[in-house]
Amino acid sequence: MTNVLIADGASNAECLAGIPVLSDPGSSYQIAYAVHPYNYTGGQNDWDTRWGYLAGSYALIATEWDYRASDCGRTKQALAPVFLNYMRSGVNVGILGHALDIFSGRLIADTSLDPTQCGTASPGSGYDFRTGYLDTFPSPGAAAPTAPVILGSRQQTTTSITLTWAAAYDSAYSSTDLSYALYRDGQVAGTVPAGTTSFTDTGLSIGTAPTR
């Protein structure tokens, strides 16, 4: 992939609501929308409105995120694990760990770094990011999850189809931890959160045979 355009949101890039959706100049995924979700205390409905709504159809990445030591014991610290789980399993949005303010890339590169949750002058976000986000990914070299088994369609109309499948298996995690992306004609038709094993694809046309 070459010539990727990163399009930031408004209000210090903490909000993508209403951002113009740009035409992709290539076959797919040459535009990514970036968000800096520092103000994430509104909860899931607010996250969905601010940026999560884009994740089902467009490439989205959080290029900055953390909370400071002054936020320890406050709403930001309490919501951090919920927020990270939402980004990881709810909308499947990548977060760049090097963008944490204090650790400056060491969180991933320096294995001797052992951040504590609000136990030092450094932000507790490094601890939450490592334990609540990085540790939810398989270790390097781990076997890939098995492919889900398509069970068929339980419901069809002239413009939609509901697909169901048996959950994939991952030796590193429970099958309920796996989320899914569904493709139609090489494009993402939608995503479903972890533990969900059905999806309704809409906007179909009579007489066409899309590939999946």
pLDDT (tens digit, 9 = 90+) per residue, 166-184? 888 766 666 666 778 888 8
Element (H, E) at 77: helix 75-85
118 has a pLDDT exceeding 70:
yes
- Answer yes or no: is 209 within a domain: no
Say whether both 119 and 47 belong to one domain.
yes
Domain, as residue range, for 158: 149-201
Flag whether pLDDT at 202 surpasses 80. Answer: yes
What local confidence, expressed as pLDDT, does residue 1 receive? 47
Asked whether the whole model's pTM tops 0.85, one would answer no
Pair (160, 100) in one structural domain: no
pLDDT of residue 163: 87
In a domain, 163, yes or no: yes
Q: Specify whether 41 is located in the same domain as 93.
A: yes
pLDDT digits (tens, 9 = 90+) for 12-31: 678 888 888 887 766 666 77
Of 28-32, 72-76, 86-90, the one with minimum mean pLDDT is 28-32
122 and 169 in a common domain: no
Tell whether 129 and 34 lie within a shared domain. Answer: yes
- Say yes or no to pLDDT of 101 above 60: no
* Statement to judge: residues 16 and 88 lie in one domain: yes
Q: Do 154 and 132 lie in a common domain?
A: no
161-166/198-201 β-pairing: antiparallel
Mean pLDDT of 204-210: 72
Mean pLDDT for 112-137 is 72
Structural domain includes residue 101: yes
141, part of any domain:
no
* Region for residue 145 given its phi and psi (left: phi exceeds 0; alpha: psi -120 to 50; beta: otherwise): beta
Question: Using 50, 70 and 90 to split pLDDT, how confident is the model at 48?
Answer: very high
C-alpha to C-alpha distance for 117 and 125, rounded to whole angstroms: 7
CA angle 105, 111, 117 (to 5 degrees): 75
Task: Tell me, yes or no, whether 93 lies in a domain.
Answer: yes
Mean pLDDT across the chain? 77
- The answer to whether residue 176 is domain-embedded is yes
Average of per-residue pLDDT across 45-59: 88
Tell me what the mean pLDDT of segment 27-37 comes to.
77
Query: 95 with 159, same domain?
Result: no
pLDDT at 102: 58
pLDDT exceeding 90 applies to what percent of the chain? 4
Query: Which DSSP letter does residue 69 get?
Result: G
Q: How confident is the model at residue 7 (pLDDT cuts 50, 70, 90)?
A: low
- Structural domain contains residue 211: no
Same domain? For 69 and 173 the reply is: no
Q: In whole angstroms, give the CA distance from residue 151 to residue 163.
A: 8
Tally of structural domains, the chain: 2
Residue 32 has pLDDT above 70, yes or no: yes
Higher-confidence residue: 4 or 150? 150
